[in-house]
Structure 1
Amino acid sequence: MKSIQSTLLFFSSFLLMSLIGMSAYSQASQDGWISLFNGKNLKGWTQLNGTAPYKVVNNEIIGTTKAKTPNSFLCTEKKYGDFILEFEVLLDPTTNSGVQFRTNSSKSYNNGRVHGYQFELDPTARAFSGGIYDEGRRGWLYPLSLNPKGRKAFKNGVWNTCRVEAIGSTIRTWINGIQCSNLVDNVTSSGFIALQVHAIYNEKNAGKHIKWKNIRIKTNNLESERWALDPEVKEMSFLINKLTKNEVDNGWRLLWDGKTSEGWRGAKLDHFPQSGWDIQNGELTVLATDGAESTGPGDIITEKVFSSFELELDFKITKGANSGIKYFVDAELNKGPGSAIGCEFQILDDKNHPDAKAGVNGNRTIGSLYDLITAENLSTKGRSKQFKGIGAWNKARIVVKGAHVEHWLNNEKVVEYDRSSQMFRALIAYSKYKNWSKFGQWPSGHILLQDHGDTVHYRSIKVREFN
């Protein structure tokens, strides 16, 4: 009898454990999360580009820095489109790293160089962890200069819990429950996940460790899993000549429609120039003439005037090019030779155009308030202003709220001033604008794109006004 009871007890226990196991398996299936790392080996992963070593210890993937090798990437063999990715990371506070997503590698692109979106891991004082960098292509898309609160999310010396939501064209990141970025970009829709060990160039920096664990991904029922947005985290869109719903809801509108000259005219004309400004493929281009100021087709201005506003646009320059974005322009002041009069966000090839060495202390370089205030990185101490180079698209932003004005270059603030201040008036008194009464202090004015005789391209010109 005792033997029968023992046998029944065994089978009852076995059945109960089986049911619990089935329930757990069912729950995992319902949740839809898939582990990308089995905790034992690197099955399902492959290494690309550099030769820094990766190994598995105590259910962790450990990458180790190695000198004289390019960036190393441990990549999933499978590619993913829309997903939510979560992982934990712990890295040496003296090294940089990242986690790639929607990333690719092909011989046709830089001989197989890994390229795509990267969740930045930055333990330095710059504190850009959780920002989004476009590895091997466009550089920074969402630096944490856009989100000071997010710069405090990452903690050195402990495990950090990270999350990426890549759904359609929206890409959002969190660290330890704090939202870091909110990007809209549609350049790449799918690719692999990869763990980066950054290249180092000094042997003394070799042997530093980056550790990852609990790497999991979800690819279905994503909308219901989205985390709530922090309203203080700025949305940054790289859509071309389009507005997001959020932008429309917040008062943005396209200042150029991407197809016609509607809303614009020549600064010294009652119509748009008949030649010299080209509209093709969603780009508004001033064509090269003789490199002089407004001796070709001339500047163009908005038909409407603006007072308090935020202006954003993309620009791309050719070698040695000069142009500018002017605001508070009074088109009636200068009917003779030269450009119309207004405050100017300088656009310039600093390396190849002589104007970069003119003026005072670099106040004619790219991003500067032309001839008045020199552009420098005000967002991140010790970091240079960020110009992405000739032939690359760069982002300019001008923010005017009453007397307060800011210039932003590629999402980092480079100029800030009060146009009603005594200091501003003193700068005017010693500049080329000294003969224009109350220059820069007019209540409103046109927005202008300058013809300076060089080929420069513009697109995605948008604006919102403040009360």
Structure 2
Amino acid sequence: MLRKVCFGMLLVFGVSQWGMAQEVKLKKAFNGKNFKGWVEPENNVWWTINDGVLKTKSDPEQTGSILWTDKNYNDFVVETEFLYGEGTVDTGIFLREETQQIQMGISGSLKRDMTGSPYIVGKGYPVEAEGVAEILKPNDWNTIKIKAVDNVYTVWLNGKEVVTYTSENVPEEGPIGLQLHPGRDMTASFRNIKIGEIK
């Protein structure tokens, strides 16, 4: 929430009401060279960096992996370009913890593309992102942007808003994570990852 004192009165504006999250300054969160700003998994065999691209690939045992930011965030906007690679791509972005995720790629439970839809542990997919089939470029780079303000998530795909969802039991803060789903044989790539904090 944004608070502003005017003429002795306390006015409270919702960030989303004024669209201020759209004006949040996004800062580069991935330098394209190394894992600075991220917690590289121990014995990392899943995540590689080459020419400014972060690529994830399943290991032979398909154990999966999560690449977390080394910083916790309260309210924020995260944006990244992504490219689906080989296999059945099942990835996503975790918001503050593992139970809150925006899906990218094929849902293991629904067996279809649910890009942009929230996946909440215990609830599955409570809502589905709209118009994704017409917006998503399956063989090219796409851009996803997620705004998380308190327990409200808004998602844009290639510049078009596809879903807004109000979650429950959301932690006040936590890291942001990129997922390589276990039990999959797949590759996916990310680049131009940016994060902006909403104060």
| TM category, shorter | 0.7 to 0.9
Q: 2:34 aligns with which of 32, 37, 41?
A: 41
2:174 aligns with 191
Are the structure 2 counterparts of residues 181 and 52 from structure 1 closer, same or farther at C-alpha, using a change threshold of 3 Å? farther
- Per-residue deviation, residues 207-256 of structure 1 (Å, max 9, x unmatched): x32110111111136xxxxxxxxxxxxxxxxxxxxxxxxxxxxxxxxxxx
4+ long deviations beyond 6 Å: none
Residues 1:95 and 2:89 are matched in the alignment: yes
TM superposition shift of 1:51: 5.4
Q: 1:182 aligns with which of 144, 147, 164?
A: 164
Q: Distance in 2 between matches of 1:50 and 1:150?
A: 36
Amino acid aligned to 2:113:
A
Secondary structure of the residue aligned to 1:152 is helix
- Superposed, 1:249-328 pairs within 5 Å as none
Residues 1:118 and 2:105 are matched in the alignment: no
Are the structure 2 counterparts of residues 48 and 141 from structure 1 closer, same or farther at C-alpha, using a change threshold of 3 Å? farther
More helix by percentage: 1
Q: Distance in 1 between matches of 2:155 and 2:70?
A: 23
1:238 aligns with none
TM superposition shift of 1:67: 3.0
Secondary structure of the residue aligned to 1:142 is coil
1:156 aligns with 138
TM superposition shift of 1:190: 1.8
Amino acid aligned to 2:124:
W
- Per-residue deviation, residues 353-406 of structure 1 (Å, max 9, x unmatched): xxxxxxxxxxxxxxxxxxxxxxxxxxxxxxxxxxxxxxxxxxxxxxxxxxxxxx
Q: Distance in 2 between matches of 1:78 and 1:177?
A: 26
Unaligned runs of 5+ in 1: 1-29, 104-114, 222-467
Residues 1:166 and 2:148 are matched in the alignment: yes
Secondary structure of the residue aligned to 2:71 is strand
Q: Distance in 1 between matches of 2:43 and 2:183?
A: 11
Q: Distance in 1 between matches of 2:100 and 2:40?
A: 17
Q: Distance in 1 between matches of 2:72 and 2:119?
A: 19
Are the structure 2 counterparts of residues 48 and 179 from structure 1 closer, same or farther at C-alpha, using a change threshold of 3 Å? same
Are the structure 2 counterparts of residues 84 and 148 from structure 1 closer, same or farther at C-alpha, using a change threshold of 3 Å? closer
2:52 aligns with 59
Unaligned runs of 5+ in 2: 1-22
Amino acid aligned to 1:80:
Y
- 8 Å contact from structure 2 (residues 130, 163) kept in 1: no
More strand by percentage: 2
1:138 aligns with 122
Q: Distance in 1 between matches of 2:42 and 2:100?
A: 16
- Superposed, 1:61-460 pairs within 5 Å as 61-92=54-85, 94-103=88-97, 115-123=98-106, 126-134=112-120, 137-144=121-128, 147-188=129-170, 189-200=172-183, 205=185, 208-220=186-198
Select the structure with the greater relative contact order (CA < 8 A; seq sep ≥ 6): 2
- 8 Å contact from structure 1 (residues 128, 151) kept in 2: no
Q: Distance in 2 between matches of 1:50 and 1:73?
A: 13
Per the normalisation by structure 1, the TM-score is 0.34
Q: Distance in 2 between matches of 1:67 and 1:56?
A: 19
Q: Which moved more, 1:73-82 or 1:180-189?
A: 180-189
Secondary structure of the residue aligned to 1:133 is strand
- Per-residue deviation, residues 108-142 of structure 1 (Å, max 9, x unmatched): xxxxxxx23111111587221000112xx324243
Secondary structure of the residue aligned to 1:74 is strand
Secondary structure of the residue aligned to 1:190 is coil
Q: Distance in 2 between matches of 1:141 and 1:192?
A: 21
Are the structure 2 counterparts of residues 123 and 153 from structure 1 closer, same or farther at C-alpha, using a change threshold of 3 Å? farther
Amino acid aligned to 1:87:
T
Per the normalisation by structure 2, the TM-score is 0.76
